[in-house]
Amino acid sequence: MLDSTKYPSHRYNCLTELMGEFQLCFPLSHCTPRTFLIPGILPKEQPENTELEGETLEFQYHYRILPDSILSRFIVLTHEKIHNSTHWRTGVMLEYTEGAEVYNIARIKSDPEDEKISIAVSGRESTRRSFLSMIRDTFTKIHNSFANLEISQWVPVPGYPDADPLDYEELLGLEEMGENTVCLGKLKLKLDLRPLLDGYEAIELRRRKQMGDNFFDDPEDGYPGINIHVHQKNFDRRSKTFNQNGQGDNFGGDRIQGDKIMGNADETP
């Protein structure tokens, strides 16, 4: 594809490294010669094998204007977790595994017409929330690289997949105000806030955010990363979800060590 007089082969590494730095491509393993996949020019058609089985945990990002590069950059950053090489220009299937066993499968796809990105995670319930948190951490890292990106977060109404989704920040605000329920007049439905929000983030993490502790995704960290800053005097030393030696991270209250999800923070007294 390249004019050899302008782009000699010994300079190809410079081009591919630059493309990788800007999250435009990633190398395919076990390919000779080295082969790179560019998500931004993948086929547009969604493959047939993208249906998820059983219950799913879902989350949405809505944008005033959805940049085309967000989903392709996400695919590059998460390419080591791609499930069965299933990816297309506006979507990807990811997996969380331990050993040879697949615990969770996630479908992430963008909708350029509606200016939104939808996430659905299936599989083992005990690790579903943590896998979603890992995915959200990666999107946060990408979002933070844009200036003045207008974005909102939404969650579906449990048991009503066709109903309009709920504003996630609105639900967090209601909880912080001391509300225990949210009323949906159109559906004649009253939802308990605590179990709804617990499905996305541990209560301990929400409370610390409400109290003003600093929980920020560090853009300098690798994928996925979240820095948790807590005052040691306020930290429950009995908790098994925090590693003082820095060998584990917390995602949504669940501890990840290496590539394993070790447990839920809300199980700690």
Could you report the per-residue pLDDT of 103-156, keeping only the tens digit for each? 999 999 999 999 999 999 999 999 999 999 999 999 999 999 999 999 999 999
Quickly state the pLDDT bin for 236 (edges 50, 70, 90): very low
Q: Is residue 135 part of a domain?
A: yes
Averaged over 188-211, what is the pLDDT?
Answer: 91
> What count of residues does the chain have?
269
Tokens 């990840």 label which residue? 256
Q: Is residue 107 part of a domain?
A: yes
Structure tokens at 263: 């447990």
C-beta neighbour count of 68 within 10 angstroms: 12
The pLDDT tens digits for 6-43 are 888 888 888 889 999 999 999 998 788 888 999 999 99
Question: What is the spatial distance between Cα 80 and Cα 203, in angstroms, rounded to a whole number?
Answer: 30
216 vs 68: which has the higher pLDDT: 68
Dihedral sign, CA of 82, 61, 212, 268?
negative
Residues in contact with 17: Cβ distance below 8 Å, sequence separation at least 6, in sequence order:
none
In this prediction, residue 262 carries a pLDDT of 54
Q: Is residue 136 part of a domain?
A: yes
Question: What is the spatial distance between Cα 197 and Cα 169, in angstroms, rounded to a whole number?
Answer: 11
Provide the domain count of the chain: 1
In this prediction, residue 6 carries a pLDDT of 86
Q: Is residue 36 part of a domain?
A: no
Question: What is the spatial distance between Cα 62 and Cα 93, in angstroms, rounded to a whole number?
Answer: 20
CATH number, domain containing residue 124: 3.30.310.200
Read off φ and ψ for residue 12, nearest 5 degrees. -60, -40
**Model confidence at 215: pLDDT above 50:** no
Task: List, in sequence order, every residue forming a beta bridge with 93; answer none if it has no partner.
Answer: 107
Question: What is the spatial distance between Cα 74 and Cα 110, in angstroms, rounded to a whole number?
Answer: 11
In this prediction, residue 32 carries a pLDDT of 80
Averaged over 75-98, what is the pLDDT?
Answer: 96
In this prediction, residue 12 carries a pLDDT of 87
**Model confidence at 265: pLDDT above 60:** no
Question: What is the spatial distance between Cα 201 and Cα 237, in angstroms, rounded to a whole number?
Answer: 21
Domain encompassing residue 118: 57-151
**Model confidence at 51: pLDDT above 90:** yes
Long-range own/partner contacts, residues 188-193 (CB < 8 A, 24 or more apart): 189/157, 189/160, 191/157, 191/158
pTM for the complete prediction? 0.76
**Model confidence at 48: pLDDT above 80:** yes
Q: Is residue 247 part of a domain?
A: no
Tokens 């807590």 label which residue? 230
Q: Is residue 198 part of a domain?
A: no
Q: Are 28 and 35 in contact (CB under 8 A)?
A: yes
Question: What is the spatial distance between Cα 109 and Cα 172, in angstroms, rounded to a whole number?
Answer: 25
In this prediction, residue 136 carries a pLDDT of 97
In this prediction, residue 29 carries a pLDDT of 82
Q: Is residue 106 part of a domain?
A: yes
Q: Is residue 202 part of a domain?
A: no
Q: How much is the mean pLDDT over the chain?
A: 83
